[in-house]
Amino acid sequence: MKSKQPLVTSLALALLMASSIPAALAKSDSVRFISTPPVIDGVANDAAWEEGDWQEMTSLMWGTVPEPSDFSGRYKLRWNKDALYLLAEIQDDHLSDTYANPLERYWDDDCLEIFIDADASGGDHLNNYNAFAYHLALDNQVVDIGPNKEGEAVPQLYNDHVENKWQRDTQAPYKVYWEAAVRVYDDSYQHGNDNSPVALKEGMTLGFMLAYCDADGGDREHFLGSHEITPINGDKNLGYKDASVFGKVTLTK
């Protein structure tokens, strides 16, 4: 009789490897096509946003769960060949932009974070351009970590990737409406060179996740996103380096 030890060992190894791979628990969502893009002005009165398909931002990625008056958020997505369009509705009782240098501790200011993976392939993107984690600051600067021309992975501005603008309502509860047009780049992108964004098409699937850094002055307190993440060693704050935790969205007409 042959020993079962090799089979048991192989099974244990497979289970161990599976448990160490980050995973998203989000369903694949459909994104509607629009022929006329919204004006990116933070007003959110465009025809593109008329349908009520809001997605919630309730999944805790870091910190503690805030009261809804401290932070709550939801969003919509649209697309055409030029860009992925986002409208976020944010309730935040204290907007904070502590650090004047946009490359200094940008995660400790209030910011909207858009995660994009052009081919939904997942995997590491901290030291390459396999995917992006765009931090949209209150001054509309766009920051991510990526390799510069010398190959060093450092915070850099990507303002030409994302056009964005927010405005706050003048009536209680003083919600923020944040609009963005995201030009999607694939892993051939090289910072500082002449790059062309991907032309979006019906049927394409993108890796996508949305989150909000809530900082009431000085340090981030809450970090909530669009879907649950399976933690690795208790850590759910993985999106800035691993696109495997992104959800997926499919472009439809």
Considering the chain, what percentage of its residues have pLDDT values greater than 70?
88
At residue 148 the predicted structure's pLDDT band, cuts being 50, 70 and 90, is confident
β-bridge mates for residue 145, sequence order: 155
DSSP code string of the chain: ---SHHHHHHHHHHHHHHHTS-EE-PPPEEEEE-SSPPPSSS---SGGG-S---EE--EEEEE-PPPTTTEEEEEEEEE-SS-EEEEEEEEES------SSTTSSGGGS-EEEEEEETT---SB-SSSSSSEEEEEETT--EEEEEE-TTS-EEEEE-TTTEEEEEEE-SSTT--EEEEEEE----TT--TTS---PPPP-TT-EEEEEEEEEEESSSSEEEEEESS-EE-BTTB---TTTBGGG-EEEEEE-
Sorted by where each begins, the domain ranges of the chain are 24-252
CB 74 within 8 A of CB 59: no
Distance CA 240, CA 38 (A): 28
- Between the CA of residue 28 and those of 100, 142, 193, 248, what are the distances in Å? 37, 26, 33, 5
Amino acid 213: pLDDT = 82
- What is the rounded average pLDDT of the residues 196-212? 97
Q: Is the pLDDT of residue 14 over 70?
A: no
- The tens digit of pLDDT for each residue in 75-95 reads 999 999 999 999 999 988 878
pTM value > 0.75: yes
Amino acid 66: pLDDT = 67
Q: Is the pLDDT of residue 37 over 90?
A: yes
Of residues 28 and 119, more confidently modeled = 119
Domain boundaries 24-252, corresponding CATH code? 2.60.40.1190
- What is the rounded average pLDDT of the residues 162-181? 95
